[in-house]
Amino acid sequence: MKKHPEIDWIFFDMGGVLLDDARAIRMSHEFLLAAMRREDPSLTLDHITEVFPEASGRLGDVNRHIVSLLIPEEDKREAILKEVQMQNEAIDYFTLSSVPPETREVLEVLSREYKLGIIANQSIKARQKLTEAGIFSYFDFVGISNELNLSKPDPRIFKAAFEATGAAPEKSVMIDDNIERGLAPAKKLGMKVVWYDLGTRKDSPDWIDFKISRLDDLSRIF
């Protein structure tokens, strides 16, 4: 029996939730820091961590917003971003990311009681990664930004998911590690939200409905 009979759909983010992408994110931030330090040697990874929430809450590329928040000289930003883009393209995000071992079992259990979906800022390679991990079939809907031409935190990506699935926001849940990018717009639309706490920040708003630190923590909630 459902623990939450009022819930029909559970939507997942990918990076940081279905995928452990910590290594890829760390490398990307190190590339970004190295490029910015040529302009401001005083910058550290802590500075990136501090502005990351604000950057995430803005529409568009997070790295671009991080640079705009930390590098005051506008004419220097494009060179930094071009360098970082080239470095990021040289690494394979999906090769550096992995599906945690407990994921399949969690999805198997949840799929018996709920419809499962994905709303994620990802490339089309995301489908291949899910298939290779043997978990693609658990999802009734896969909405990724490169296919929808929309990305979080734009509320339209959530509305596209509702339209495609018939899901009602008030009967849906969003699970995301990024509060500003994934959970805030979902909450504003009426969804319940679950914060996947990766331990990278100390604060969390009081409007979050549930918090987990492992995917199998979902078993105690749903």
Domain ranges of the chain: 9-21+97-221, 22-94
> For residue 26, how many other CB atoms are within 10 A of its CB?
12
**Does residue 69 contact residue 55 with C-beta atoms inside 8 Å?**
yes
Distance CA 161, CA 158 (A): 5
Maximum separation of any 2 CA atoms in the chain, in Å: 59
**What is 9-21+97-221's CATH topology?**
Rossmann fold (3.40.50)
**Mind listing the pLDDT tens digit of every residue in the chain (222 residues)?**
788 999 999 999 999 999 999 999 999 999 999 999 999 999 999 999 999 999 999 999 999 999 999 999 999 999 999 999 988 888 889 999 999 999 999 999 999 999 999 999 999 999 999 999 999 999 999 999 999 999 999 999 999 999 999 999 999 999 999 999 999 999 999 999 999 999 988 888 999 999 999 999 999 999
Predicted TM-score (pTM) of this structure: 0.95
